[in-house]
Structure 1
């Protein structure tokens, strides 16, 4: 089969690799119909995730068709259309019983990380009964790709960990896919203000369409100063959705007393934590890897039309254009790219 393979920092290739086979009775083999590229894939390519070894097929998002199941799989059969979760869950270990699926003792984030992922014609999904979701009849499968990772990530690690509540002033630093997912799902809780901070005017314009009440281009103005000029004493919730020291620093400096800093971004290097200033302000700082325990709820909101993640898709490609898709996504500002869809037709 054809797949996108990591060769080493800064190196990738699109070419032929062995087709996966059932290795455990709880496995399923899925024929990929649609997949995408995540910011985490770009972090891997930069060398930020050393656990990813040479020859790994990347990707942890997608929808597809069940090709084969192991004899212990009971919820799915050949021909079923399924959403693939970015998190693999055995459903039985201590962490799974706490709904901390990201720390599953025989799973977690392994697709495109510790085992081959979804940027391929076929993928092996361990613990299929707990790691796949049936696609409702008539669903927009492109939209559902957003539920593999970015929507539950923005919602769980940004909005829920940030404890967004009605009337809050919320600032999201980073208008990429994760920041936009946090923006869309924060509106479930009716915050008073949703402020989006980024350096890309085109993404800030898109954020306005998605519900941002204010936008700040931090390349043109001092974001911290602007926040304090338009609030009493800062924001209730700051969501870090980039993963670099500069954006984390903005978040820790704009919080009001009692505020929450929800770090969602993947950090490849350390940040400077101003704990000497934060401790006396009763600040809560949270971090996390998505658990995807909210995916069933998000599926319902998409099916009902309350959430429209298809709006996040800006570019579409075929599988033989995978390297071009990476070029576009990797130059998001220039290409005005948010999420790309790659279809196996």
Structure 2
């Protein structure tokens, strides 16, 4: 089969590799119909995530058609068109029973914090991902969701991570009716977080970024206010000035380790990996939110220490909530929003590439060329 292949930082290409096989009675083999490149994939592409091994296939956002199921699979059959959440989870452990599917205790032998994730280094289990023609789907009875008959495939592929992660970012903010919400980051997750803030009752939504075309996109898509941080001297002061000198009710970090910080932060975090990436957005969130407010973190950070102003957190009485999205928990509500016409996730897709052009796709997305917001890969066997 054709599959994306990681060859080291900034080096990916499409190669032929062996098709996956059933390895466990509860596996399924899925023929991919759409897969996305995620902002989180760029952390891998840039060499920022430990134990990202040469030869790995990335891709944790994909849909596909079930080609084969193991003998224990009861809930899927050959021919089902499914969306596959990026979380690999067992459905039966202590955490899965609490619907904390991203924290499954049984699918990642390398860590006790996060469960398995498709195509995301061996720190999350070493599972190959969906930027390929075929993918092995473990725990097939609990993870995949059969697409509703009336759902656009490209709306569905954004339900595997980007939309649920943005929605959970807003949900973790505990947004109350009329709240002012500031979202840092106008990538796909930040765009969906801004849109979701309205769905949860926000009275005002502000998005901060420094890329003009992304700010213009989110302004149209999420009907929000925008701030270019390159035009601001002091972010906390600027947000307070916009909010009667109180601060925002909720601040959302949808950026993570690759935030544009000071030269020292960029050197120690991104280049030397001495900390978990630039913490500049965490500082902005903590210092821009009002006393008693909430900071929601869905940006990806590394596993090492970071310089977070914990004294400000304590003195301001803040709540900080963070996690990988538990996709399956959100799907009923998000499918309802799509079917009711409140949101069409596929509107953020700006680029579609054949799978054999994966190298170009990563370069364009990573370098923010051609006004790229969200790229989708289409395997050669897909005809529509």
- What interval of TM-score do these two structures reach, taking the shorter chain for normalisation? over 0.9
1:89 Cα deviation (Å)? Answer: 1.7
Structure 2 matches for 1:29-48, cutoff 5 A?
29-48=29-48
Alignment of 1:154-193 (within 5 A): 154-156=166-168, 158-193=169-204
Q: Does 1:253 pair with 2:253?
A: no
1:173–1:210 Cα change, 3 Å: same
Q: Decide whether the 8 Å contact of 1:249 with 1:272 is kept in 2.
A: no
CA–CA distance in structure 2, aligned partners of residues 124 and 313 of structure 1: 26
Partners in 1 of 2:375 and 2:90 — Cα distance?
Answer: 30
Q: Distance in 1 between matches of 2:23 and 2:100?
A: 25
| 8 A Cα contact 1:196 1:212, kept in partner | no
- Please identify runs of 4+ aligned residues in structure 1 that moved more than 4 A: none
Q: Any idea what SS the aligned residue of 1:335 has?
A: coil
Whether 1:224 aligns to 2:236 is yes
Match of 1:241 in 2: 254
Q: Distance in 2 between matches of 1:2 and 1:299?
A: 31
Alignment deviations for residues 124-148 of structure 1 (CA, whole Å, 9 cap, x no partner): 0001111100011132101111110
Residue 275 of structure 2 is matched in structure 1 by none
The number of equivalent residue pairs is 343
Task: Measure, in 2, the Cα distance between the counterparts of 1:100 and 1:51.
Answer: 25
Q: What CA deviation, in whole Å up to 9, does each residue of 1:304-323 have, x standing for no partner?
A: 22221011111111122211
Q: Per the alignment, in what secondary structure is the counterpart of residue 185 of structure 1?
A: helix
Q: CA RMSD in A?
A: 1.4
Q: CA deviation at 1:264?
A: 1.1
Change (3 A) 1:109 1:152: farther
Which residue is 1:76 aligned to? Answer: 76
With the length of structure 1 as denominator, give the TM-score of the two structures: 0.95
Q: Which residue of 2 aligns with 1:341?
A: 376
Counterpart of 1:110 in structure 2 is 117
Give me the TM-score of the superposition, normalised by structure 2.
0.86
**3-state DSSP class of the match of 1:128?**
coil
Partner SS for 1:320: helix
Distance in 2 (CA, whole Å) between partners of 1:50 and 1:146 is: 26
- Report SS of the residue matched to 1:294: helix
Kindly state the Cα deviation for residue 38 of structure 1 after the two structures are TM-superposed.
0.7
Instruction: Note the residue ranges of structure 2 that are not aligned, 5 or more in a row.
Output: 108-114, 121-125, 260-278
Q: Are residue 149 (structure 1) and residue 141 (structure 2) matched?
A: no
Post-superposition Cα deviations, 1:284-309, rounded to whole Å, max 9, x if no partner, equal 11221111111232122212222210
Correspondence for 2:276: none
Work out which of the residue numbers 264, 267, 281 in structure 1 matches 2:298.
264
Q: Aligned partners of 2:66 and 2:206: how far apart in 1?
A: 41
Task: Give 3-state SS (helix, strand or coil) of 2:88's partner.
Answer: coil
